[in-house]
Amino acid sequence: MNYIAMNRFEVAKENAAAFEAMWLNRESYLDGMEGFISFSLLRGPEKDDQILYSSHTVWATKANFEAWTKSEGFRKAHARAGNGGPRLFIGHPRFEGFEAIQTTLPAGARAA
């Protein structure tokens, strides 16, 4: 079954547009990785002063994800994280990894 890797970010509302632009304009290097299925940047609930975001990648296996974290593409994609520019999120990202137990697809759809 698939492996889902997520990072949660709490972003001050005044930094939301810059945070989204940073993700939309970056080179991810994911598409060349074995076992990579998909990536999503998710915008979640808002509080008075912040917005919750999550980066969400789906991998064929946990081993594929772990290979990504040791790859040159990973180093390149994360080279500027926290360096040089303004800090756009509060605290540190919180990583959560999940192994899929069940996946339901629409009739006729094929699993990746």
Predicted pLDDT at 78: 79
Q: Look up the CATH number of domain 3-99.
A: 3.30.70.100
Joined together, the tokens standing for residue 99 give 């192994």
* Three-point CA angle 85, 87, 88, nearest 5°: 110
- Report residues of the chain scoring pLDDT below 50: none
pLDDT of residue 88: 85
pTM score: 0.85
Report the pLDDT value the prediction gives residue 70, as an integer from 0 to 100: 95
The domain segmentation of the chain, as residue ranges, is: 3-99
Q: Is 48 left (phi over 0), alpha (psi -120 to 50) or beta?
A: alpha
Task: Phi first, then psi: give them for residue 55, nearest 5 degrees.
Answer: -90, 135
